[in-house]
Amino acid sequence: MVADAEHRIAATLIDRGSFLLSRPFEPIQFTGDPEADALLNNLSQYPHAFVTACVMHRQVRAESAWIIPYKIAQRRGSFEFSLLSTLGLKDVLDLMAGPPPLHRFPETMAKNLHSALARIAGEYHGNASEIWAECPSSATIVRRFLEFDGVGPKIATMAANFLVRDFKIAVSDKVSIEISPDVHVRRVFTRLGLISEGASNEVLIYRAREMHPLYPGILDPASWEIGRSWCAPQRPDCEECYMARFCPTAPTKEAARRGDSE
């Protein structure tokens, strides 16, 4: 792809992304269960719910991980940190083991959860929101999540992305807010000619960094929206898509007319 075309694609995605991200906060539908989502969205009262749910993201569907704090609250009658911090490892293991178990790997995740609660108590004075308090850099937030047992770069950057992009947490820079390699974003990047068919997630991530080094994640919302609204896996609606004028995959008007008449 020629640099000029790439530049215009990047500028359009960034403009639209800026608009989408400037909208006021709306509660996030993490699980589809209103009560579980209310707990996770309540960052001021239960910041440890969001943090511990992130720790649970390991080889299970996202919804199954997000709902674990709510299920623990149901089993213990509360998700107050003052109560959770009194639990020993055996208590946490019993909670995770069920029946039914709350996670595919109840023993490992019980250890990670117990250790996360101890880290929040010790490092953050029992208030998990200290992880993102006082306008830290985006890298600081990612690094602080990486320090929790069982959390790798993918989950740490996911957590930072939610905090900055969705919860509108103030940060001093957005360099470490990455694009999320979701299925819609991958398809749109491929069809726009920004990555090759079958490119790895790393290629996608570095492509976004190349296009906007100071805030790679800004390319995410517009790409996701295009993927959900027009760029369907089968029969993309290129006539309605605002990227059609730049997109190498979109049929030209003449080709579209020929297709219509065939």
Q: Which residues bind ligand SF4 (CB under 6 A)?
A: 188, 191-192, 226, 230-231, 236-238, 241, 243-244, 247, 249-250
**The two structure tokens encoding residue 22:** 């400037």
Distance, in Å, from the CA atom of 148 to the CA atom of 120, rounded to the nearest integer, reads 9
Minimum CB–partner distance for residue 177 and ligand SF4 (Å): 23
**How far is residue 184 CA from its own chain's centroid?**
13
Distance, in Å, from the CA atom of 42 to the CA atom of 114, rounded to the nearest integer, reads 21
In the complex with ligand SF4, which residue's Cβ is closer, 124 or 230? Answer: 230
In the complex with ligand SF4, which residue's Cβ is closer, 110 or 250? Answer: 250
Distance, in Å, from the CA atom of 196 to the CA atom of 7, rounded to the nearest integer, reads 17
Distance, in Å, from the CA atom of 39 to the CA atom of 92, rounded to the nearest integer, reads 19
Environment class of 189 (CB within 10 Å of its CB; exposed 0-12, middle 13-18, buried 19+):
buried
Minimum CB–partner distance for residue 240 and ligand SF4 (Å): 8
In the complex with ligand SF4, which residue's Cβ is closer, 116 or 250? Answer: 250
Minimum CB–partner distance for residue 87 and ligand SF4 (Å): 49
In the complex with ligand SF4, which residue's Cβ is closer, 85 or 190? Answer: 190
Minimum CB–partner distance for residue 178 and ligand SF4 (Å): 21
In the complex with ligand SF4, which residue's Cβ is closer, 28 or 256? Answer: 256
Minimum CB–partner distance for residue 166 and ligand SF4 (Å): 24
Query: CA 29, 30, 31, 33 torsion: positive or negative?
Result: negative
